[in-house]
Amino acid sequence: MKDEDRTPGLLPATERDLRRRFLEEVHLVPGGDRISRCLQCGSCTGSCPVSYAMDIPPRMVVALFRAGRIEEILRSRTIWICASCYMCTTRCPQAIKITDLLYALKRTAIDAGLYPDRFPVYLLSKYFVRTVNRYGRNHEILLLVQYYLRRNPLELFRLIPLGISMLRKGRVALFPAKVKGIAAIRSILDAAKSLELPREKEAVRYKEGMVGYRAVA
């Protein structure tokens, strides 16, 4: 929707819904409401080691949120490129938990299905969660093979020499180690699921040419 088509002061329905979801996530983060204190000083953007690769720098994320353009943030590359180094959080003069807010944004985007198919960060997280849910621990090889098969099988071939040298050095665990109390982990997962708010998958999906993703990787 173009800006001039909007009813002044009223956010479009999808925007309102995304905003509500995001705020729900934010309330679950201790200190998350400090987002309202942002001064727009830009310390976060200046401190970020990967802001050069972002389409929307961290300072602008807050600005766009305030301007009622959360969908734009959710479709940006920014939330996925954050490497969780917490430099912005450390330096923010207003003690805003920027990294944690980006996590909340990621969860909102995943929840609303706002990412392209086979999007790297989501794929990796998905297989990671799957591996941990199954064994109770992560298993590097299983995770990476699943990820690359789906994302870019060619890359898997390129990584073979590296994998072999790691194998030779005894730095590859061939088989996943399964936690003995896996039944307890499963009941933890089930219990957690039952406490989650019911969420419906939203119909909005990524379409070609939308903001963000294409430029990198």
Binding residues for other proteins, rule: CB under 8 A, are 25, 28-31, 49-50, 53, 80-81, 83-87, 89-90, 97, 99, 103-104, 106-107, 110, 120-121, 124-126, 128-129, 132, 136-141, 144, 147, 162, 165-166, 169-173, 177, 179-181, 184-185, 187-193, 195-196, 216-217
Within its chain, how far is the Cα of 117 from the centroid?
14
Report the length, in residues, of the chain.
217
Tell me if 216 sits within 8 A of 53, measured CB to CB: yes
- Which is nearer to other proteins, 37 or 171 (by Cβ)? 171
Smallest distance from other proteins to CB 75, Å: 16
98: Cβ contacts below 8 Å, ≥ 6 apart = 44, 58, 88, 89, 92
Smallest distance from other proteins to CB 10, Å: 31
Smallest distance from other proteins to CB 62, Å: 18
Q: Return the axis-axis angle of helices 98-111 and 13-27, rounded to nearest 10°.
A: 130
Tell me if 120 sits within 8 A of 88, measured CB to CB: no
- Which is nearer to other proteins, 7 or 52 (by Cβ)? 52
- Which is nearer to other proteins, 128 or 206 (by Cβ)? 128
- Which is nearer to other proteins, 166 or 210 (by Cβ)? 166
Would you state the torsion angle of the CA atoms of residues 53, 103, 22, 92, taken in this order, to the nearest 10 degrees?
A: -70
Smallest distance from other proteins to CB 179, Å: 5
Smallest distance from other proteins to CB 12, Å: 26
H/E stretch holding 74 reads helix 70-74
- Which is nearer to other proteins, 39 or 177 (by Cβ)? 177
Smallest distance from other proteins to CB 6, Å: 31
Single-letter residue type at 174: L
Supply angle C-alpha 157, 162, 168, rounded to 5: 125
Tell me if 156 sits within 8 A of 149, measured CB to CB: yes
- Which is nearer to other proteins, 11 or 182 (by Cβ)? 182
